[in-house]
Chain A
Amino acid sequence: MLTDALTLDFADASPPRPAYTGRVRAAPRRARPIPTAPIAETKPTVQPATDDIDWSAVLLRVRDSRDNAAFAALFRHFAPRVKAFLMKSGADATLAEECAQDVMATLWHKAHLYDPARASVATWIFTIARNRRIDALRRARRPEPEDLTWGPDHEPDQADVLAQRQDSARLGAALTQLPPKQRELIEQAYFGDRTHTEIAAATGLPLGTIKSRIRLALDRLRHELK
């Protein structure tokens, strides 16, 4: 979807961000997946890794018009992955199924909070699933930072939305290019619901090694994204 021309287009055309009203704190920087070089310097060649469906647009149809078909499409794609995520984290199939349904219902109810300039749909669903996991498997609360408040008319900048999509695609591609061992460690850090200490115990590697390997893997990712 992201053609070279498009990439160059929005690099040249990014307009100044309008001043938002109603914020509680001084201008928060919009978060991007992994700090990257300015848009103008990005590699224009990377395509979305697995498919090129614009899930943000699909989710916005749920958000804006409560579109059942759009929700069903999101469900078919993401629910089986959310369930897999929960099972990898130690939930049995029954609990994982129940939580996956819950996560997808939350997606419907909270669709108005989704900001396509800030996160991909996969990332947003990941955070919902992660919180559900903390609640279901650990019975702990999840402390969340203060909400960023935007003005009532806040509509994300299209250039930001495109930049988010492009960053996510490049991040996905970078992850698939990691050596298998490094990728495995990062997966365990996210999906295993295990701390670095516990990963060390499970793999027999000393903690310092684990930490430095994870760091190495993330450095590699950052490098890919430069």
Chain B
Amino acid sequence: MTTMTIQHHLTDDLLMGYAAGTLPEAFSLVVAVHLSLCDDCRARSEAYEAVGGSLLGALETADLAEDSLQATLRRIAAGPPTERVRKAGGLFPAPLQDYVGGDLAAVRWRPVGMGVRQAILRTDRGASARLLYIPAGAAVPDHGHRGRELTLVLQGAFRDEDGRFGPGDVEIADEAVQHTPTAEAGLPCICLAATDAPLRFRSLIPRLAQPFFRI
């Protein structure tokens, strides 16, 4: 994964939301994984952080508590917070490993039919995140969206009406999109997907089963 050619990037909307800290956690996870793989988007995201810094620097001040500095020095004296040790290397970039608790081998897959497997990742309620495993050559059930869905490819590739998506690429699907992603031949396609609405599968997977998938 050291030299990947990313074709599909994040929008300014998402980068600004990520920098401002207003995206749902599941979307932020997709953004963080993409930024780990894409220096261009990382630079753009840091530019949006600089906007936040400028705004902060220009804010009118709030009155501090009288002993504020002393209290802060006491916090400092209490010692630094314990640093999380981040896992690096492997298929999954560090932010994804933080959520999975390891690399690919640590994923607890559940079959959802037609050889497709998924694993839900725990995030806050604004949106949901999951890993998808699609066998090479298989189609993901045709589905539309009620909300927004981000799909980032980690391994393999898929194609749909919008083109080809390989490692590092993000597909951003909005309400209107009806698409039929198909995994390319070769490696199984492994994706990280986040959505702020339940998916509506139109075929293959019965609607009734959806609550069991918690998506």
A contacts, CB < 8 Å to B: 24-35, 49-50, 72, 75-76, 79-85, 87-88, 93, 96-97, 100-102, 104-106, 108-110, 118-120, 122-127, 129-131, 133-134, 138-147, 167-168, 171-172, 175-176, 186-187, 189-191, 193-196, 211, 214-215, 218, 221
Contacts and interface: CB of A to CB of B under 8 A. Distances in A.
Closest 9 CB pairs of A and B: A123-B53, A33-B50, A31-B46, A80-B61, A122-B57, A146-B36, A143-B32, A145-B35, A140-B124
Contacts of A122: 53-54, 56-57
Interface in B152-203: none
B50 A167 contact: yes
A128 to B, nearest CB: 10
Contact of B28 (A129, A143, A186): A143
With a 10 A CB-CB cut-off, give which of A34, A211, A215 has the most chain B CB atoms: A34
Contacts of B80: 109-110
B120 interface: no
B135 to A, nearest CB: 28
A33 B47 contact: yes
B109 interface: no
Given A26-B2, A96-B62, A105-B75, A171 B98 contact: no
Interface string B89-107: 1000111001100000000
A110 B29 CA distance: 23
Contacts of A109: 76, 80-81
A25 B61 CA distance: 40
Given A29-B43, A102-B75, A119-B49, A146 B95 contact: yes
Contact of A85 (B17, B56, B86): B56
Nearest to B3: A26
Contact of B72 (A105, A130, A176): A105
B111 interface: no
Contact of B94 (A32, A79, A146): A146
A221 B46 CA distance: 15
A108 B76 contact: yes
B69 interface: yes
